[in-house]
């Protein structure tokens, strides 16, 4: 049983509610508000589509709007192909040489050895002729140079074979892996840019405003959609400081609006730590009847009964309720 109720205006959403003592010392008045999130893209572009309408109820992660992603997807495809090529190259280097490659070099070594031996035998024959004066020294020098070149070629091929057998050096493997990692990071960055060309609802709510139409060019941070939490409205009221005794976080409250005969349940969510003056604008009973609200009726959820800007009254229990969380 709740005793000693004060009438308190309904707690609204964005801190714009006003309240004042009215209809007796136990009545406080405020304005219903909703927590709103004004959403936009992190990057600019041309708005290609808006997936919601005013009044739509959306869930967390639901698509709200998209930007044109033609150029971004082309860049993503290019970066992805580069990352795949770099990863393949790194895999080849890590795997080392194939047996087929080694066999080719071994065959080249045998050919080089045969050539070298032939030239060395010719050099030995020509040396005797040179001593006998049968051939000019220039011809012998040319033949000896060919034999030396054949030896160098054979040695180079043998060194090549040893490198193939050892595989890539750690520095070479580290280099190609670093290139592959950098290419993958670039591809991931382009993919993230594409993902950010879609605007999604961060939490459940109702679409209360659309700020842009498809085809318009919007900048980064430009408002596109406003989503409000219409399931949890609040009203900020002003309570005289001499009546704060007994009020605690979590104190139960009943919310009353003109359009409903029955009250809605609520609780005190916040109590300010600084005194303020009574706001300048109050709503008398006569003034409340003259207030109008632009209404677009959607009955997806029968519990969404309150509208921002509507005067509301709440009564709450005086004292006896411990702070929330204790």
Q: 26-61, pLDDT tens digit by residue?
A: 667 777 888 899 999 999 999 999 999 999 999 999
Interval 248-273 mean pLDDT: 79
Give me the long-range contacts of 112-118 (CB less than 8 A, separation at least 24): 112/150, 112/153, 112/154, 112/157, 113/154, 115/150, 115/153, 115/154, 116/147, 116/150, 116/151, 116/153, 116/154
Answer for the pair 26, 3: CB distance below 8 angstroms, yes or no: no
In this structure, of 25-39, 234-248, 291-305, the range with the lowest mean pLDDT score is 291-305
Answer for the pair 243, 8: CB distance below 8 angstroms, yes or no: no
Q: Domain ranges in the chain?
A: 1-32+235-326, 33-67+198-231, 73-192
pLDDT: which is higher, 297 or 42: 42
Residue 218 β-bridge partners: 45
Same fold, 1-32+235-326 and 33-67+198-231: no
In this structure, of 129-143, 260-274, 290-304, the range with the lowest mean pLDDT score is 290-304
Alpha helix (H) ranges present in the chain?
70-95, 99-132, 137-166, 170-195, 285-290
**The predicted structure's pLDDT at residue 302:** 40
> How far is the C-alpha of 216 from the C-alpha of 201, rounded, in Å?
20
Q: In sequence order, which residues have a C-beta less than 8 Å from that of residue 325 and are 6 or more positions away?
A: 249, 250
Interval 140-154 mean pLDDT: 88
Q: In sequence order, which residues have a C-beta less than 8 Å from that of residue 247 and are 6 or more positions away?
A: 239, 268, 271, 316, 318, 319
- CA 5, 6, 11, 15 torsion-angle sign: negative
**The predicted structure's pLDDT at residue 9:** 38
* Strongest mean pLDDT among 171-185, 199-213, 236-250: 199-213
Residue 211 has pLDDT above 90, yes or no: yes
> How far is the C-alpha of 95 from the C-alpha of 167, rounded, in Å?
8
Q: How confident is the model at residue 286 (pLDDT cuts 50, 70, 90)?
A: low
DSSP code, position 249 = T
Interval 208-217 mean pLDDT: 95
Answer for the pair 299, 322: CB distance below 8 angstroms, yes or no: no
In this structure, of 260-269, 281-290, 311-320, the range with the lowest mean pLDDT score is 281-290
Instruction: Provide the CATH number for the domain formed by 33-67+198-231 in this structure.
Output: 2.40.50.100
| C-alpha neighbours within 13 Å on the C-beta side of residue 8 | 29
**The predicted structure's pLDDT at residue 281:** 57
Interval 219-234 mean pLDDT: 92
> How far is the C-alpha of 53 from the C-alpha of 57, rounded, in Å?
9
DSSP code, position 60 = T
pLDDT: which is higher, 323 or 295: 323
Answer for the pair 224, 41: CB distance below 8 angstroms, yes or no: yes
pTM of the predicted model as reported, rounded to 2 decimal places:
0.60
**The predicted structure's pLDDT at residue 27:** 62
> How far is the C-alpha of 282 from the C-alpha of 278, rounded, in Å?
9
pLDDT: which is higher, 100 or 233: 233
CA distances (Å), 118 to each of 115, 122, 136, in order? 5, 6, 21
Q: How confident is the model at residue 126 (pLDDT cuts 50, 70, 90)?
A: confident
Q: Mean pLDDT over all residues of the chain?
A: 77
**The predicted structure's pLDDT at residue 207:** 95
Interval 90-97 mean pLDDT: 79
Answer for the pair 11, 254: CB distance below 8 angstroms, yes or no: no
- CA 218, 307, 62, 298 torsion-angle sign: negative
Instruction: Provide the CATH number for the domain formed by 1-32+235-326 in this structure.
Output: 2.40.30
**The predicted structure's pLDDT at residue 92:** 80
Is residue 14 exposed (0-12), middle (13-18) or buried (19+ Cβ within 10 Å)? middle
In this structure, of 7-11, 89-93, 316-320, the range with the lowest mean pLDDT score is 7-11
**The predicted structure's pLDDT at residue 267:** 78
CA-atom Rg of the chain in angstroms: 42
């Amino acid at each position: 049983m709740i005793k000693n109720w004060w009438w308190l205006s309904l707690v609204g959403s964005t801190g714009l509610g006003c309240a004042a003592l009215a209809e007796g010392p136990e009545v406080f008045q405020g304005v219903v508000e909703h927590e709103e999130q004004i959403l936009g893209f992190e990057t600019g572009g041309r708005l290609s589509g808006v997936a919601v309408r005013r009044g739509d109820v959306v869930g967390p992660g639901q698509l709200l709007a998209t930007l044109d992603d033609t150029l971004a997807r082309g860049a993503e495809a290019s970066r992805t192909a580069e990352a795949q090529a770099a990863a393949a190259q790194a895999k080849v280097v890590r795997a080392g040489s194939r047996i087929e490659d080694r066999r080719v070099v071994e065959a080249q070594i045998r050919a080089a050895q045969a050539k070298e031996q032939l030239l060395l035998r010719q050099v030995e024959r020509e040396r005797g002729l040179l001593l006998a004066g049968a051939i000019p020294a220039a011809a012998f020098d040319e033949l000896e140079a060919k034999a030396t070149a054949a030896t160098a070629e054979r040695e180079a091929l043998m060194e090549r074979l040893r490198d193939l057998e050892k595989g890539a050096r750690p520095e070479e493997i580290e280099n190609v892996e670093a290139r592959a990692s950098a290419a993958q990071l670039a591809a991931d960055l382009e993919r993230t840019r594409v993902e950010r060309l879609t605007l999604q609802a961060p939490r459940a709510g109702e679409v209360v405003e659309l700020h842009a139409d498809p085809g318009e060019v919007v900048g980064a941070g430009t408002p596109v959609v406003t989503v409000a939490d219409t399931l949890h409205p609040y009203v900020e009221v002003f309570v005289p400081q001499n009546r704060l005794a007994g009020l605690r976080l979590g104190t139960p409250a009943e919310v009353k609006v003109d359009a409903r005969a029955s009250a809605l349940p609520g609780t005190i969510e916040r109590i300010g730590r600084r005194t303020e003056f009574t706001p300048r604008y109050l709503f008398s009973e006569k003034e409340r009847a003259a207030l109008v609200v632009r209404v677009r009726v959607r009955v997806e959820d029968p519990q969404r009964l309150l509208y921002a800007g509507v005067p509301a009254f709440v009564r709450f229990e005086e004292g006896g309720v411990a702070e929330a969380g204790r």
